[in-house]
Every structure is written in C-alpha cells, then in structure tokens.
A and B are shown apart, each in its own frame.
Chain A
Amino acid sequence: MTTATKTIERVDPLETSPVLVGRPDDRALTDSLLEPVLGPTKKGWLVMLVLFGGGMAFWLLSLYMTLFVGIGVWGNNIPVAWAYDITNFVWWIGIGHAGTLISAILLLFQQKWRTSINRFAEAMTLFAVAMAGAYPVIHLGRPWLFWWLIPYPATTQLWPNFKSALPWDVFAISTYATVSFLFWYLGLIPDLATLRDAARTRAQRVVYGIMSFGWRGSARHWQHWRIGYLLMAGLSTPLVVSVHTIVSFDFAISQLPGWHTTIFPPYFVAGAIFSGFAMVMTLMIPARKVFKFEHVVTARHLDNMAKVILATGLMVTYGYVMEWFIAWYSGSEAEWFAFYNRVVGDYKLVYAMQIFCNVVAPQVFWVPALRRNVMVLFLVSVLVNFGMWAERFVIIAVTLTRDFIPGSWANYTPTWVDWGLLFGSMSTFAVLFLLFLRFLPAIPISEVKELRRELEHQDHHAAQGGQAVARGAHAERA
C-alpha cells in the first residue's frame, strides 16, 4: 500500500487528467460510492423527485386519455398518421444506445475511462428503452391487442407478417430491452453483494441479499462471470447497431420521398449515439455534483464524451449533406421537393433548430478549454438532445405532411396530450433515474477497485523503470 499515497509526476502530453483521482483504499472507495444509497436522503434529491413526480402524473393522465378516449385525442390524422408517437419512440430508443455503446464497445476495446460511467449509462439505456417501448404500443389504436404482433398458435391460424418492418421492430426492441437488462444486472451482482455486506439496517441486508443471489466473490464465480460479461458485451455490440438499423427500416423500406434512402441505417445509428452521449452528459453533470462522484467521474471522462459527441455530430452532419446530395443527384422531383420543403416549408423553424443544435453547437468542442467547462458541456448536451428530437420530428412528421399528391397535403398540430406524452415521459425517465441513484450503486464499485489495482501497478512500474516504461504504460491507459 506504499504506492497508494505516492503521487508520480506525469509528463506525458497525451495524459491530460487521470481517470481516477487519488488512490483511495478499498474501504474508503466503497464508503464513498455507497454513500448515495446508504446515507441519509438528500434534500435536493427529494425536491427533484417531487418535481418530476408531478411530470409523471401528467404522463399518466395523457396515457389515460389515450387509452380510454382513443388516439383521436392526439393531433395525428391522415396524412400525418405518425407524429409525436413515433418521433418520441425513435428519439428515446436512440438515447438508449449510448448506454450499451459505452458499456459494450468500450469494454471490448478495454477503454479504462468507461469504468466509472458504464453502470450509469446502462441504467439510462434501460429507462430510455422502457419509455420508447410505450409509444409503439399506445399508437396501435387498440393497444390492448398488442400481443397480436407476437407469433403464437392462435385458433384463427393467423401469423404476423414477417416481411414487414413492424414485426422486426417488435423482435428488435424486446430483444434489446431484455439483453440490456441482463447485461446490466449481471454487472450489478457483485456490487449488490457489497451493498448487502455494507448495509446498515436489517431490511437493507435482506433485500440486497436476495438481489445478489448469494454472491460471495469466489474466484470460480469471477472467472465465469468475467467471460460471461465480456460475451454479453460482444453480443450487445452488433445488437445495438441492428436495433437502430431496424428502426430506420420502418422508414427506409417505404417509398415516401424523404424516407426511401439507403443512408438511413448508418445515419440513424450515428444519430442515436450522438443523442445518447448527450443524454449521458446531461444526467452525469448534475449527478456527479450532487453525489460527489468527481473523483471517479473525472474531467477526463467528460472530455472524452465531448469528443465522441463532436465525432458523431460530424457523422450526422455528413448524413444531412448526403441526403441533400442524393435528393439532387437522383433527379427525382418529389424527392427534391421533400428536402426543399424542410427548409422553407411551414416547419422551417424546427429544421433550423435541428441544424443549429446538431451541426453548429457541437463545433465548440474543437476548443479544449470549452470541453473542460462544465457549463458549456451541459448546455451543448441539452441542445443536442433537443436537436435530435427536432431531427426525428422533421424526418417523420414533416415528411408526411407533403407526399406525392398536393391534394392530400395537410399540416400537423400537436394537442396537449401529445405534449403530455413527450414531457411526461421525460419526467418519468427522470423519476426512474432518481430512484436508481438512491437505491443502487451508480458507479460499478468492483470495477473501480480493479481499475485502481491496474493503475497502481502502472505507477509502480513507472516509479521503478523510469520514464520509458512510464510512457508505455500511459499509452496503454489512453
């Protein structure tokens, strides 16, 4: 433990700031990371719970109206049969993707900076997918018959049509929700055991004891667990790409100008990662402040996420440019009009918001000083969230307002129920997230301990072997 207290001067220019501040011992680390769960309820947390609880009530009221009156309470009509319902669905499911990406892809690439933020991001995935899943069900018109989409031997001998993108959606979303949950829970088991053992009341000990299934940190269990966890990450990686690709097929396999494009799958996936990272940032910045996670979620994490947002923002921009190019290059009048209408049509303000938030705003991340400014990071990530919602709205609703035949053109105006479903689902998401922060360890404790061991090992080598070894070790850390 002698190396634990020693700080070694870093001269590597690539190493801007550490992924873990200091070298706290295991007991101190556990105590600090479990404080949000085992400590007293924070006033700020309670205020936020009440606030978002009100929003959740609005959501429930909107759901009640939809279910008991019918979808006539929405602004949807022909030709705009899909509006806020599918916009919200695609937006939420996209937000979920960053969680899987941080967890799975960064785990496969052995990126050490993922360790502190993965659990947080996975929880965000679960709640976002839960919010997303509600919309396709309630937009069915008769949502209580949603199980007709599942293949089961009915007496009518009628099966779902597997040549349609909508049953693909059912399989993709339900698989994604299930696998995300299993991956998250598998990672949670060792920490639930830690919670059981650090519990201060008998009730906590019993509840976390049952949830951890009797985990006792056995070397045999760790061996299988590690491989299982890694494989689950390997499975989630193509899964996350396939899910948003399938969501984009809902549009791309139609013939509507503005939807019928081959760029949709990669463009949707990039947009999903873009909005997801922005949402992680939006949630992480206040949470690390309130729960004092600054030593494990460092400036380095925020800096890296800002770079991912910048990179995916550029990919999304490429998508916008390519859509325009193809609309022009195809020589299709209907296709060109669809894009012309986005810019100068009745919804031009939404389009302007999309371009400003998704293309212009993230460019500030080219400046390193701005990537380190928490206020700028927070502001831009919120803008990106709005921008991506605007993008989904432009693609879905604005496209539907103007199809091939001018006689069938009509605009769309949302009703209060539509707004209730949108803002209500944001509040419900926030409520779920607040409960997660209070009752489960938001930072993966066992992984941070393992990370600390590895970093200590490198420090040790650096101290012994001089600068050459140190550089090698640091290069590995990046």
Chain B
Amino acid sequence: MKSYVLGEFGAEAALLDAARTLRARGGATLDLHSPYPLHGAEEALGLRKSTVPLVALVAGITGAVSGYLLQWYTVGYAWPLNVGNRPPHSAPAFIPVTFELGVLFSALAIFVGLLAVYFGFPRVHHPVFEVEAFRSASIDGLWLSAEVEAGDADAVAAELRRLGARLVSVVPEGK
C-alpha cells in the first residue's frame, strides 16, 4: 500500500533543498510540481536526459523514408505516367512530399509520445488532486510530492515540515 505525501513550499530554493535532502534519505519516489518549469529541478531530482529527441529523430526518418517509398511505388512503379516527359522515378519531384511526411511523423510522434507514453495521459485523476490546496500548483504554488510506503508516510511528513513546508498532507493511494 502506497501513500502520497504532499508539501507546499514558499520559495524555489527551499523546495529544491528539500528535494535534495529527501532524495539522499531514499525510500521515496519524489516529484516537484510548479506552475512553470523550475530551473534546477532535474538536477535536484536526479533525472536522466530526456529521450524525446531520439523518438523525434527516428519518427522523422521513418516518415521521410515512407514518403519517398510511397511516391516511388505509386507513380514510379504501380502507375507510371508520362507527364512532361519526366522519368517515372523522378527524385527531385519527390522531395516536397518526402520532407513534409518526415516533419509530420516527427511532430505526431512527439505529441502522442509525450502525452501517452511520457506523461501517461489521459489521466484526469491522480492522488495529488485529492488535496484541494494542490490547485495552487498550476497558479502560484510550489509543491513536492513523495510516493512512499504507507508505514513511512508520517516520518516523511514530519521531515517535510522540518524542511520548511508550509502545508503538509498525506493521501493514501486507494482513495
């Protein structure tokens, strides 16, 4: 049984310090919540580099190759048309569609990948939303959330208070 411990902080520095301290303590999956990207959050949480660029690159190449093959197959092979005496397989004429499909595949992969894979959306409900005050996380609040074993929740809550959290709540996961 897991629990979520939430703590609201008044300043960025205190929030990042708390994240570093709790991370050193171990035993919890930490996350920070803020209305804008926090500078230094990745370092404080020890996050690895994002793999989104790799996904975008692979998808882009896939799109460009399939775009070229589509054109080669359709007008170069399946239904060769003599228009203006251009050869059936005329590479320069295939560049625009190849490029557009590369961009399209890449952008779709980034969007769908971010939402479905990286963020696990659509997830309209999440334990952190149980705390009414957490609504400030998208307005002006700086929050730390720790996913811990239920037995450890009180200790982590006490630690958060000691680190300067203004507001601390514990949400059991099943709720």
Give A residues with C-beta under 8 Å from B: 25-27, 30, 151, 157-164, 167-168, 171-172, 175, 178-179, 182-183, 185-186, 190, 193-194, 196-198, 209-210, 213-228, 231-232, 235, 238-239, 242, 246, 249, 445-447, 449-450, 453
Contact residues of B between 41 and 61, Cβ < 8 Å to A: 41-42, 45, 47, 50, 52-53, 56, 60
Instruction: Check: B171 CB closer than 8 A to any chain A CB.
Output: no
Contact residues of B between 89 and 145, Cβ < 8 Å to A: 90, 93-94, 96-97, 99-101, 103-104, 106-108, 110-111, 113-115, 118-119, 121-126, 128-129, 134-140, 143
Per the bound structure, the CA–CA distance linking A440 and B104 in Å amounts to: 26
Per the bound structure, the CA–CA distance linking A163 and B74 in Å amounts to: 11
Asked if residues B139 and A219 are in contact (CB atoms below 8 Å), the reply is no
The 7 closest A-B CB pairs, nearest first, are: A26-B140, A159-B74, A213-B121, A219-B41, A197-B135, A219-B32, A450-B36
Instruction: Check: B86 CB closer than 8 A to any chain A CB.
Output: yes
Choice from A183, A197, A223 contacting B41 with Cβ under 8 Å? A223
Instruction: Check: B26 CB closer than 8 A to any chain A CB.
Output: no
New contact pairs (15) apart from A179-B104, A214-B122, A214-B124, CB-CB < 8 Å: A159-B75, A160-B74, A162-B94, A162-B97, A178-B104, A183-B107, A186-B111, A197-B135, A214-B126, A216-B134, A218-B32, A221-B118, A222-B41, A223-B41, A242-B103
Asked if residues A246 and B126 are in contact (CB atoms below 8 Å), the reply is no
Per the bound structure, the CA–CA distance linking A193 and B126 in Å amounts to: 13
Q: How many A-B residue pairs have CB under 8 A?
A: 194
CB distance from B146 to the nearest CB of A (A): 13
Residues of chain B within 8 A (CB-CB) of A171 are 96-97, 100-101
Residues of chain B within 8 A (CB-CB) of A163 are 75, 81, 83-84, 86, 90, 93
Asked if residues A164 and B83 are in contact (CB atoms below 8 Å), the reply is yes
Asked if residues B31 and A219 are in contact (CB atoms below 8 Å), the reply is yes
User: Given the interface contacts A167-B97, A172-B96, A190-B35, does A151 sit within 8 Å of B70 by beta carbon?
Assistant: yes
Per the bound structure, the CA–CA distance linking A24 and B69 in Å amounts to: 55
Instruction: Check: B78 CB closer than 8 A to any chain A CB.
Output: yes
Asked if residues A175 and B36 are in contact (CB atoms below 8 Å), the reply is no
- For chain A, what secondary structure do more than half of its interface residues adopt (helix, strand, loop), or is it mixed? helix
Asked if residues A242 and B99 are in contact (CB atoms below 8 Å), the reply is yes
Per the bound structure, the CA–CA distance linking A114 and B121 in Å amounts to: 29
Give the interface centre of A162, A171, A182, A215 by most chain B CB atoms within 10 Å: A162
Asked if residues A27 and B139 are in contact (CB atoms below 8 Å), the reply is yes
B129-169 Cβ-contact flags toward A at 8 Å (1 or 0): 10000111111100100000000000000000000000000
Instruction: Check: B71 CB closer than 8 A to any chain A CB.
Output: yes
Per the bound structure, the CA–CA distance linking A179 and B48 in Å amounts to: 28
Residues of chain A within 8 A (CB-CB) of B106 are 231, 235
**Nearest neighbor of B56 in chain A, beta-carbon distance:** A231
Per the bound structure, the CA–CA distance linking A231 and B53 in Å amounts to: 7
**Nearest neighbor of B94 in chain A, beta-carbon distance:** A162
CB distance from A375 to the nearest CB of B (A): 35
**Nearest neighbor of A160 in chain B, beta-carbon distance:** B74
User: Given the interface contacts A213-B121, A219-B45, does A161 sit within 8 Å of B139 by beta carbon?
Assistant: no
Residues of chain B within 8 A (CB-CB) of A228 are 52, 56, 110-111, 113-114, 118
Per the bound structure, the CA–CA distance linking A158 and B79 in Å amounts to: 7
Asked if residues B103 and A179 are in contact (CB atoms below 8 Å), the reply is yes
User: Given the interface contacts A172-B96, A183-B107, does A159 sit within 8 Å of B36 by beta carbon?
Assistant: no
Residues of chain A within 8 A (CB-CB) of B126 are 214, 216
User: Given the interface contacts A228-B52, A242-B96, does A178 sit within 8 Å of B108 by beta carbon?
Assistant: yes
Per the bound structure, the CA–CA distance linking A228 and B84 in Å amounts to: 43
Residues of chain A within 8 A (CB-CB) of B42 are 219, 223
CB distance from B76 to the nearest CB of A (A): 9
Interface pairs (24), CB distance under 8 Å: A26-B35, A151-B70, A161-B75, A168-B97, A168-B100, A172-B96, A190-B138, A213-B119, A213-B123, A214-B121, A217-B34, A220-B118, A221-B119, A222-B38, A223-B47, A224-B119, A227-B50, A232-B110, A235-B106, A235-B110, A239-B100, A239-B103, A242-B96, A445-B35
Asked if residues A194 and B118 are in contact (CB atoms below 8 Å), the reply is no
Per the bound structure, the CA–CA distance linking A158 and B78 in Å amounts to: 9
Instruction: Check: B37 CB closer than 8 A to any chain A CB.
Output: yes
Asked if residues B114 and A186 are in contact (CB atoms below 8 Å), the reply is yes
Asked if residues A214 and B125 are in contact (CB atoms below 8 Å), the reply is yes
CB distance from A234 to the nearest CB of B (A): 9
Asked if residues A159 and B137 are in contact (CB atoms below 8 Å), the reply is no
Choice from B70, B108, B125, B138 contacting A196 with Cβ under 8 Å? B138
Asked if residues B78 and A27 are in contact (CB atoms below 8 Å), the reply is no
User: Given the interface contacts A171-B96, A220-B47, A223-B41, does A446 sit within 8 Å of B124 by beta carbon?
Assistant: no
